[in-house]
Copies of this chain bind each other. A is one copy, B any other.
Amino acid sequence: MTERLAVTYVLACSTEAEARSRARDIALEQTVELPDSCYPSEIEERIVPRLEELAPLRAGSFRAVLSFNLGEVGSDVLQLMNLLYGNISLKPGILVADVAWPAELLATLPGPRFGIPGIRKLTGVADRPLLCVALKPMGLSSHALAERCRALASAGVDVVKDDHGIADQPSAPFDERLARCQEAVAGTRTLYFPNVTAEPGRLDERIAAARAAGCRGVLVSPWLIGPGAMRRLAETSGLALLAHPSLMGAYLGADRGIAAEILLGDILRMLGSDAVIYPNVGGRFSFTRETCDALNERLRRPLGTLRAAFPLPGGGIDATRVPEWIRAYGLDTMFLVGGSLYRETNLAAAAAALMERIELSARE
């Protein structure tokens, strides 16, 4: 690999000298883990990232660009995460704000197997936003969850996915739930995506079971199964992967961590997510509109030869506001709605009304 991996950090510090010293500290911490002068100079040239740029940003922060010789310091996606944020996750005031991914790196990564075009083909919907409804709550029986699936399918919902906390609880064990819910959508155009998140071994069993039952996709939490397992699912499962950000919020600090559009956008897409769930602005979480826009852009923009992934905003989207979000985010969006449908007495009617709103909005 001859191209370099350029990482832009935002550093919380007040003087240029301090910023330079912190950038140097990152360069050493993420590679040789030794102080200056404790290693041969040829290692400096070959291994330690180069400071390409350093500039003041706003009061109290600087922008530093380090470029890594990825062919010498990288290997798999775990080492990539390690280089980007491994040890410096333990230090305050460092934000990975942008990354320029070398084409050679992108060529080694699966990216979405389906992506926007593939999921459009699976659902048979060419020209409007998609609707995904979360199946909940945890604690309902498989039978009751399947009844909800049936109601949602009768309303023509595109995708029904398990809530990410619905795993293998006694109220709705995985195998039983899979069978009942898949039965409930049989003969309709609705796709049921079960949550397969599980420890190794069990994860493979659930993927195999989902495929055998006829599911075309699954829900998975990449930071629970680990980024390496996520990549492997993309390469081997043959199923569309909706990625859930469980545990990932810890990285999304304002002045510490990894920018949301990099972690949930670029990285989850590179690992093979066909759609990425994120908490929409104005819902139960605290993403800004700018973050949502940046995320949408990262999931859809040209990126090597990787397919575009669907943005899947959720986390408290009100069904009545979906038309407004369609205008804001565009047609290549899948909307995740849950609570605001379950508030209604008649789930099927509420979901059908929402589907109609989506179809109308798309024609505007």
Contacts and interface: CB of A to CB of B under 8 A. Distances in A.
A34 B34 CA distance: 50
A200 B232 contact: yes
A164 B82 contact: yes
A284 interface: yes
Interface in A229-259: 229, 231-232, 245-253, 256-257
Contacts of A165: 30-31, 33, 73, 79, 82-83, 86-87
Given A79-B165, A165-B31, A72 B139 contact: yes
A226 interface: yes
A271 to B, nearest CB: 11
A30 B139 CA distance: 12
A32 B249 contact: no
Contact of A231 (B82, B199, B248): B199
B79 A339 contact: no
A168 interface: yes
Interface residues of A, number: 83
A82 B247 contact: yes
Given A75-B169, A246-B86, A338-B34, A225 B226 contact: yes
Contacts of A86: 164-165, 221, 224, 246-247
Nearest to A203: B228
A343 interface: yes
A5 B230 CA distance: 29
Protomer copies = 2
A342 interface: yes
Nearest to A278: B90
Given A137-B31, A167-B76, A82 B246 contact: yes
A89 interface: yes
A331 interface: no
A134 B245 CA distance: 34
A81 interface: yes
A89 B246 contact: yes
A286 interface: yes
Contact of A85 (B85, B250, B251): B250
Which of A30, A134, A138 has the most CB atoms of chain B within a 10 A radius of its CB? A138
A302 interface: no
A21 interface: no
B249 A88 contact: yes
A272 interface: no
A328 interface: no
Given A30-B165, A34-B338, A34-B342, 18 more contacts: A31-B139, A32-B137, A33-B134, A34-B136, A38-B339, A76-B167, A78-B167, A79-B167, A83-B165, A88-B249, A89-B247, A89-B248, A91-B284, A92-B286, A199-B231, A200-B226, A224-B228, A250-B256
Which 9 pairs across A and B sit closest by C-beta, in order of nearness? A226-B226, A89-B249, A199-B228, A90-B249, A32-B137, A47-B139, A86-B246, A78-B224, A43-B139
